[in-house]
Amino acid sequence: MKSGVNTLMAPFGGIGLSMQYHLDGFRAGDPSIASASAKTAKDAVDVLIVGCGPAGLTLATQLSALGDISVRIIERKPGPLEFGQADGLACRSVEMFEAFGFADRVIKEGYHVNEVSFWRPDDDGTPLVRADRIQDVEDDLSEMPHIILSQARVHDFYLESMVKSPSRLVPDYNQELISLTLTDGSDFPISATVGYVDRPGETETIRAKYVVGCDGARSKVRSELGLELKGKSARQLWGVMDVLCHTTFPDIRLKCAIQSADQGSILIIPREGGYLVRLYIELAELAPDERAADRGVTSDQLIEKARKILSPFDFEVAQVAWWSAYEIGQRVCDAFDDVMETERGTKSPRVFIAGDACHTHSPKAGQGMNVSMADAFNLGWKLAAVLHGQSCVELLDTYSKERRAKAQELIDFDRKMARLFSEKPKTKDDAARFQAYFKKHGRYTAGVETHYAPSLVVGDTSHQKLATGYPVGKRFHSGPVIRLADAKPMQLGHTLKADGRWRIIAFAPRSDMGDENGPVGTLCASLKELLQSVMSTDADVDALIDVRAVFQRSHRDMDFSKLPSLLRPQKGPLGLTDYEKVFCSLQQEHDIFRLRGINRFEGAVVVTRPDQYVSLVTPITGPAEIKEFFARVLS
Ligand code: FAD
């Protein structure tokens, strides 16, 4: 058996975090607090977000960081979530948190899922035996771990980032969307009527350019669009409880899938802090009109059920921290915006839905919070690009297309997983089928298998062979490098921040020493023309497209001063040199060229979107293709 620890995850004992600040002049104090931007009106905004769940907060954080986009986020509840709901954070979500700047806190506070164990009855009549124990995240799937942490803490980190952002954004609690009206020909074509939960009868009108419904499974925004969640009508009732317990069950600090012979199934999720444990207990299928509340489930019933499934091991609960019984159906909406497929191309979307508002599934695969955040990450930069006038409105059509395909795929996966998990295993083979499915789909549940189809923002694959580890349409897979200027070992992917910028990363051919006339230097000269044509003259050269390079030479053999000027640009009001754009590969098992299948002799260029997905792979000698791509996207 393997160690269970992803050995390539964190070279040099750290996760290679990095921050750049003081570009606008020295400023004392906490560098994570941005300079405040000018306040804008609250009754007419660029983007109105409805709902402060993971989807709404991801979108609000991304947009608030851009400062010049006015955002309002409303939430029906009186304040932030305090406990309960989801807890699984896939590796891909932790990668995204790094782009938002708080992955280190999630990693420090959370439980790290390194191994999973499977329990089931033995053929000899023993009620429960450990059938297998496997590594959870395969080696080099991600530099980030699979984490378990309360959804409420994830909300806290987002809220902190928002309040430290240039727009100092805070949600408006106790405010509930009542209705939406769309009018043509106005700068703010959507009117939202909002009611005050704590002042019945009082309402306010908020005008917006775009509205995003992140308002959960019973979304008001969705119903205002006349859309509905479609899928299996029968819904599954689930019991979930976070407990402090005494037990003789030996794997209580491991994620476990337990299938008993005739008492049902449990999923054990150890929680952050070392003592707390979550148990998911499948209860019953609800009738079409039945709600979870109709069953009158109590925490004592959940404890009793858990005791029976875990028997003959002892299981005593010392404290129930949180519990819930909730229903889940596998459902998805036909569209994630207000444009019908028959109208696509003739009208651009103004209202969007994200997260549980457009798809719901069981918690068994731990995807709810992750997929909801990924929806919002996909949408945020697209809204920003259109609002900034950098991209055509057709960019917004790619949101529904990309995320609906992802949601449908997830629902198909979840349906199969749910069925296998609920089956009463009659033989070892029955139980082994669930286990095999679980193992096979580890990459999928880690969130790294999302693969967007060719579109305006995903190019063709004709040069894929130059960098086989960077499939076009998949997320940029980080790898270890050493920064040239200061010899800092770090993760290349951690330079891809959630700042709305595109990235062009040149992986240099072996012979390239980084001088102006070398392959990367020639590429940079050509790209400089592109950047100057898309940026206003007073903006930094990398304000929209950030060019970086990775060389194969030792960092000690390279001369920073000979690098092309695009890789050491002068920026900001003081014209300071940016020293942090150039990296060198490491040796042997940490060599990014080997890890990501990059052609050593020819090199490669990888273009990534602002949400870190690979748009294009081209030869170093192919700036024309890059220019053509951006001519389409930035029109
Ligand atoms: P949500 O987190 O549902 O957020 C929507 C927000 O919008 C809410 O805060 C809501 O108050 C607000 N809102 C709704 N309507 C309006 C309106 N008209 N005006 C203003 N605000 C509005 N997943 C798991 O994996 N494991 C679990 O154990 C688990 N337990 C759950 C328990 C409960 C009670 C719920 C509701 C969900 C649970 N989930 C669980 C699902 C998981 O939390 C969701 O998949 C995830 O939160 C989806 O994020 P979201 O942002 O799309 O929606």
pLDDT value at residue 423: 66
Give average pLDDT by consecutive 10-residue segment, the chain, 635 residues. Answer: 42 56 88 80 93 98 91 97 89 96 96 94 90 90 95 97 93 97 87 96 96 96 94 73 97 94 90 96 75 79 94 96 84 92 89 95 80 97 96 95 92 77 66 72 86 96 97 97 95 95 97 94 93 81 94 95 95 95 93 97 98 97 92 89
pLDDT value at residue 17: 62
**Phi/psi of residue 301, each to 5°?**
-65, -40
Does residue 406 line the site of ligand 1, with CB under 6 A? no
pLDDT value at residue 5: 41
Task: Calculate how far, in angstroms, residue 385's C-alpha sits from the geometric centre of ligand 1.
Answer: 28
Whole-structure pTM value: 0.94
Does residue 75 line the site of ligand 1, with CB under 6 A? yes
pLDDT value at residue 234: 52
Task: Provide the CB-side half-sphere exposure for 434 (13 A, CA).
Answer: 30
pLDDT value at residue 14: 42
Neighbours of 20 (CB within 10 A): 11
Ligand 1 test: best mutation among 155, 331, 364, 369, most atoms within 8 Å of CB? 369
CA nearest neighbour of 84 among 359, 368, 346, 294: 368
Domain ranges of the chain: 464-633
For residue range 493-541, what is the model confidence (pLDDT) as tens digits? 999 999 999 999 999 999 999 999 999 999 999 999 888 888 777 888 8
| Strand partners for 571 | 576
State the Cα–Cα distance between residues 88 and 95, nearest whole angstrom: 14
Task: Calculate how far, in angstroms, residue 479's C-alpha sits from the geometric centre of ligand 1.
Answer: 34
pLDDT value at residue 437: 74
Q: Which residues lie below 8 Å from residue 143, measured CB to CB, with a gap of 6+?
A: 8, 9, 10, 15, 16, 95, 478, 479, 480, 491, 493
- Which is the closest atom of ligand 1 to the Cα of 217? 3
Residue linked to tokens 């891809």: 496
pLDDT value at residue 523: 96
Task: Calculate how far, in angstroms, residue 188's C-alpha sits from the geometric centre of ligand 1.
Answer: 28
pLDDT value at residue 85: 85
- Left, alpha or beta for 474 (phi > 0: left; psi -120 to 50: alpha)? beta
CA nearest neighbour of 385 among 571, 632, 628: 632
Q: Which residues lie below 8 Å from residue 49, measured CB to CB, with a gap of 6+?
A: 56, 59, 60, 71, 72, 73, 74, 211, 212, 214
Residue linked to tokens 């980084």: 514
The total number of residues written for the chain in this structure:
635
Catalytic, out of 111, 158, 210, 280: 280
The sign one gets for the Cα dihedral 131, 132, 133, 136 is negative
One-letter identity of residue 553: R
Rg (the chain; Cα; Å): 25
State the Cα–Cα distance between residues 530 and 542, nearest whole angstrom: 11
Residue 87 bears catalytic tag? yes
Residue 288 bears catalytic tag? no
For residue range 325-344, what is the model confidence (pLDDT) as tens digits? 877 778 899 899 999 888 88
One-letter identity of residue 491: Q
**Phi/psi of residue 549, each to 5°?**
-145, 150
The sign one gets for the Cα dihedral 268, 273, 274, 275 is negative
Catalytic, out of 54, 349, 363, 623: 363
**What is the CATH number assigned to the segment(s) 464-633?**
3.40.30.20
Residue 271 bears catalytic tag? yes
Residue 559 bears catalytic tag? no
Task: Calculate how far, in angstroms, residue 88's C-alpha sits from the geometric centre of ligand 1.
Answer: 14
Task: Calculate how far, in angstroms, residue 450's C-alpha sits from the geometric centre of ligand 1.
Answer: 23
Does residue 49 line the site of ligand 1, with CB under 6 A? no
State the Cα–Cα distance between residues 370 and 354, nearest whole angstrom: 12
| CA distances (Å), origin 185, targets 43, 188, 190 | 18, 8, 10
pLDDT value at residue 9: 44
Would you say 140 and 595 are in contact if contact means Cβ atoms under 8 Å apart?
Answer: yes
Angle between the N-to-C axes of helices 54-64 and 151-164, in degrees from 0 to 180, rounded to the nearest 10: 20
pLDDT value at residue 427: 66
The sign one gets for the Cα dihedral 220, 224, 227, 233 is positive
